[in-house]
Amino acid sequence: MGLFGRSPYNLRNVDLNRNFPSANWKELANARAGTRAASEAETRVVARVLGDFHPQLLVHLKDSRNGGIVNYEGEIRPRAEQVATLLSSQVVQGLGEKTSGSVENYALTRLNCPSLTMLLVREDSNEAAWAKTGEALFALLGPTQAPLSRIEEAESSFNGQPDPFDDTPAQKPAVRRLKTADEGNAGNVRSTAQSKSRAALPDFPAPVPEQGYLELPPPGGTP
C-alpha cells in the first residue's frame, strides 16, 4: 500500500515508522502511531524478522524531497560520515530518537543495534538512483572502526582451536576389533550362508510416476 501509493501509511492509516515497539513509542493525537505499539501486522512481521536475524547494523533507505541526509543512531558515526561523503550529504544524529515508534529507535533500544538512515534525493529512474547510491551501499559492507560484533566475537572464540572433525575418536567401535584368522574364516562362512538364505527384495507394487512422489507400500505388504 505505502510503496504503490507513495505514502508512509498502511490501509489503516498508520505510519509504520511510528508504530514500532521502541522505548520512545507514544500514542499521537492523530492516531498516526497506531492505538498501541506494534498494533499493525506489517510492523510485527518486520520486528519478528529483525529479532530472529539479530542485525549488526540496520540501514533504512528513504527518499527525501529536501537535500540528502544521513542520520545515525548509536556508535556508528565514522561509518555515517563515510557514507555521507560518498553521497555528498550532511550528517545528523538522533532523528530516530525524536520520532515516536521509529524503527531506528526500536533497533537501538530493543535490539542494541546501531542504524543508518539514508534520506536520498529522488532520481528520475532506478538506474540513476543506483548509480548514485550503489557505492555508498557497498561501502557499508567494508571494514569498520566499530568494536567486534556479536557474530565476530563468536567466530574469533574458535580461532586456534582444533577442528573437532579432525580429532581421533576417544574409543574405537567394537566392530573395528581385529579378528584372528579362524574368526575371519568362520565369519566368511556365516556371511555366505546368510546371503544364500536371504530372499530378494520385492518390487514396488506400483510403477514410479513421471511426476510427483512415489507412494510407498503400507507396512506388512500390500492390503
Number of domains, the chain? 1
Q: What is the pLDDT of residue 65?
A: 77
145-170: average pLDDT: 39
Residue in the structure block whose three cell numbers are 512481521: 45
Task: Return d(Cα 77, Cα 79) in angstroms, integer.
Answer: 5
Q: List Cα–Cα distances, 64 to 17, 69, 129, 148, in angstroms.
A: 15, 8, 12, 33
Q: In this structure, is residue 137 part of a structural domain?
A: yes
Q: What is the pLDDT of residue 120?
A: 92
pTM: 0.62
Question: Which tens digits make up the pLDDT trace of 203-220?
Answer: 545 454 454 444 555 655
Q: What is the pLDDT of residue 168?
A: 38
Most confident of 19-28, 63-72, 147-156: 19-28
Q: In this structure, is residue 93 part of a structural domain?
A: yes
Secondary structure of residue 106 in the 3-state scheme: helix
Q: Is the pLDDT of residue 8 over 70?
A: yes
Task: Return d(Cα 20, Cα 8) in angstroms, integer.
Answer: 13
Task: Return d(Cα 118, Cα 112) in angstroms, integer.
Answer: 20
Q: Is the pLDDT of residue 202 over 60?
A: no
Q: Of 122, 121, 133, 142, nearest to 57 (Cα)? A: 142
Q: In this structure, is residue 42 part of a structural domain?
A: yes
Q: Is the pLDDT of residue 156 over 70?
A: no
Q: In this structure, is residue 212 part of a structural domain?
A: no
For 130, residues 6+ apart whose C-beta sits below 8 A from its C-beta are none
> Hey, what's the cell of 111?
535490539
Residues in the chain, total? 223
Q: Is the pLDDT of residue 198 over 50?
A: yes
Q: What is the pLDDT of residue 2?
A: 60
pLDDT bracket for residue 192 (50, 70, 90): low
> Hey, what's the cell of 175?
566392530
Q: In this structure, is residue 160 part of a structural domain?
A: no
Q: Of 90, 92, 70, nearest to 140 (Cα)? A: 70
For 178, residues 6+ apart whose C-beta sits below 8 A from its C-beta are none
Q: Is the pLDDT of residue 52 over 50?
A: yes
Q: In this structure, is residue 123 part of a structural domain?
A: yes
- For the chain, percent of residues with pLDDT exceeding 90: 51
Contact 100/32 with Cβ under 8 angstroms? no
Question: Which tens digits make up the pLDDT trace of 69-128?
Answer: 999 999 999 999 999 999 999 999 999 999 999 999 999 999 999 999 999 988 889 899
Name which residue leads in pLDDT, 22 or 206: 22
Q: In this structure, is residue 191 part of a structural domain?
A: no
Q: In this structure, is residue 159 part of a structural domain?
A: no
Q: For the domain that residue 113 is a member of, what is the CATH number?
A: 3.40.630.10
Range of the domain at 20: 2-144
